[in-house]
Chain A
């Protein structure tokens, strides 16, 4: 549905994007994960036709955005990072305006407005001015304005920024339900757990370059991530070290041990050897491989840096 090849964009001396390639299939939620300034919004803006690329191509549903911009934009829905709504107008008036721009009118426009208001749970506040809404309600309305015309592809640029966890879950549910109806989504975020929960495939972007992309399992494998096991007890390093040959030990001290174990079988083998040797173990904690670990491995820093 979306095919991006060799995308590059610079702002003066700053290279915002450099050779970005990815493809998104129909009905897929494709996550774009990266810290602020990584190039997520620039990529979304180019796909939406708001920015021109210095080089590279973007095709949506087989159409080149540079040549068929108006036709491409007709099937795109955009949910910007900032809440782009008219605060003086009611939710219904906002949706009538945005829907009208996409050619909806009359009964169809009114019907679609009611439908999306229902989806985002704002039907009972539809005729209140947006300025009276809470942050979460505005975020939901912001999302619904991108859905009003029933787009084939929706570009979501950090749609949960700055809202409480409950409202965030609500928005993720709406997106998940929308995609189950056949829509394709590109979702940018810097919340790891959102990307893990929502996206079927994820691209990790930093400094304008895609460092890795694939499913979560593929990324974990690609980064060589494994489970992190922390063992505490009344033992010394001299007692334990002969039992851990072939295991990557990240931290070793008297009474504390942290090791990286690539798979389940290696994990049970290592712990079995420790227990068999009568090592006095008080606690064992296991942290499963995560996107955070993958991100750290690939970029050398935490996402919030």
Chain B
């Protein structure tokens, strides 16, 4: 045990004295988060994949139509694909996960709105998506506030127009001027009405998470879990690569020339890679909190997920380094492996914007379970119940790859004896 500790301490000291490579690897996730967050989160100049929203209009009236047209106008049309369905079809599609949300406009919606009576719009969110349904919820909520406010403010002009429309004639220019003149002062009252909405939005998720996300949505929190995983994979790669470096420098042979078992050396190397990657990850999380204001969610669940993720990353690298003979080989092979793992797992392109086939494939990437778990904890504030499957998979892969990696490294390091 003391020999393992000596190896870990020595490697930690070396890394502290020569931190450039780890710092560079830390800059990758931070840079990615910053760039992607700024591009997608603030400017929106890069087109996002459309969010599919089902809309069941059981009313068919003017207000419902106004709502539908609002969802299809301007910038919203670039973000949302509204597909009109009936309620049964909508629920069926939602049950099969074919859309991010279903909006149901109830029968009598228009008359309730025009009569100034309270009414509601139902929103059903897809539980398999964490982020896109929240966007739909925000947009729908804003629309209900706008319609409700407008109806309250323009109640009298609307009633006058309603009688004219009911009489099957258009207003004359004089009547129209009168309507506009009476509407002017009411616009100043808008702010007094928006807090007291006429239309209530009720939303539900079929398998609702235990705890609802609190506060406003932080786009960086959506990006950073994937970036962190990229960083973890690269940092565990450069720390495990030390086995090759020590071998080429002759220090590994010198260790083996002493009264040291191969198990000591392998355990020492894996533990030092784990410790350095863990320290780096905690630093990334801290920077995420300070620089990007990310609320990381329940700390114990987060820590458990982080530890499992690092175990998995180090295990994967230990296994791969069991087959790689030289640094040149590592240079050629590992970046490709890491990028493939990250792309399939949704670290580079969010899972939600992938096509259905890629979404299915993502679940076979270990990265998906780390990223999705981190998003659940940080965005949804999920507890143990929400991430138990992620933990089981991440720890399972970690245990298997660590064991297989240690066995393979043992063969590689002592096979010549």
Contact = CB atoms under 8 A, between A and B. Distances in A.
Interface of A: 48-52, 70-71, 73-74, 76, 78, 80-86, 88-89, 93, 97-98, 100-103, 105, 129, 145
A86 B257 CA distance: 16
Contact of B259 (A80, A102, A129): A102
B250 interface: yes
Contacts of B167: none
Contacts of B3: 100-101
In the A-B complex, the 4 residue pairs with the closest CB atoms: A84-B250, A88-B17, A82-B250, A78-B257
Nearest to A94: B10
A86 B417 contact: no
A73 B13 CA distance: 26
A73 B254 contact: no
Contacts of A97: 6, 10
Given A74-B259, A98-B258, 8 more contacts: A50-B417, A52-B417, A73-B259, A80-B250, A81-B250, A84-B253, A89-B10, A101-B6
A51 B417 contact: yes
B214 to A, nearest CB: 46
Contact of A84 (B2, B13, B17, B249): B249
B251 interface: yes
Interface string B1-29: 01100100010011001100000000000
Contact of A86 (B2, B10, B260, B261): B10
Contact of B416 (A51, A70, A93, A105): A51
A70 B257 CA distance: 9
Contacts of A76: 257
Nearest to A44: B257
Nearest to A70: B259
B256 interface: yes
Interface in B251-274: 251, 253-261
Interface of B: 2-3, 6, 10, 13-14, 17-18, 249-251, 253-261, 416-417
A183 B14 CA distance: 33
A69 to B, nearest CB: 9
Nearest to B251: A84
B6 A86 contact: no
A74 B3 CA distance: 14
Nearest to A101: B258
A81 B6 CA distance: 24
Contacts of B6: 97, 100-101
Nearest to A86: B14
A78 B2 CA distance: 21
B2 to A, nearest CB: 7
Contacts of A100: 2-3, 6
B18 A70 contact: no
Given A82-B250, A86-B251, A48 B257 contact: yes
A118 to B, nearest CB: 22
A84 B248 CA distance: 9
A83 B251 CA distance: 8
A239 to B, nearest CB: 62
Contacts of A80: 250, 253-254, 257
A129 B251 contact: no
7 contacts: A50-B416, A51-B416, A85-B251, A86-B14, A86-B251, A98-B258, A101-B6
Contact of B254 (A70, A71, A84, A103): A84
A93 B6 CA distance: 11
Q: A49, A84, A145 — which one has the most chain B CB atoms within 10 A of its CB?
A: A84
A97 B260 CA distance: 13
A73 B259 CA distance: 5
B257 A50 contact: yes
Contacts of B2: 100, 105
Nearest to B6: A100
A51 B416 CA distance: 6
Nearest to B18: A88
B18 A49 contact: no
Nearest to B261: A70
B250 A89 contact: no
With a 10 A CB-CB cut-off, give which of B2, B10, B258 has the most chain A CB atoms. B258
A100 B259 CA distance: 11
A51 B257 CA distance: 10
A102 B2 CA distance: 11
A102 to B, nearest CB: 6
A49 B259 CA distance: 10
B17 A129 contact: yes
Contacts of B257: 48-50, 73, 76, 78, 80
A88 B258 contact: no
B16 to A, nearest CB: 9
B296 to A, nearest CB: 33
B259 A101 contact: yes
Nearest to A103: B259
Q: Which of A49, A71, A81 neighbours the largest number of chain B CB atoms within 10 Å of its CB?
A: A49
Contacts of B13: 88-89, 93
Nearest to B415: A52
B14 to A, nearest CB: 4
Contacts of A145: 254
Contacts of B249: 82, 84
A120 to B, nearest CB: 17
Contact of A50 (B251, B253, B261): B253
Contacts of A85: 251
A205 B176 CA distance: 113
B417 A78 contact: no
A89 B12 CA distance: 11
A96 B307 CA distance: 31
B276 to A, nearest CB: 14
Nearest to B416: A51
A235 to B, nearest CB: 58
Contact of B258 (A52, A71, A102): A102
A98 B254 CA distance: 9
Nearest to A102: B258
A100 B251 CA distance: 15
Contacts of B417: 49-52
A86 B246 CA distance: 9
A78 B259 CA distance: 12
B375 to A, nearest CB: 38
Contact of A52 (B17, B250, B416): B416
Nearest to A47: B257
A74 B258 CA distance: 6
Contacts of B14: 86, 88-89
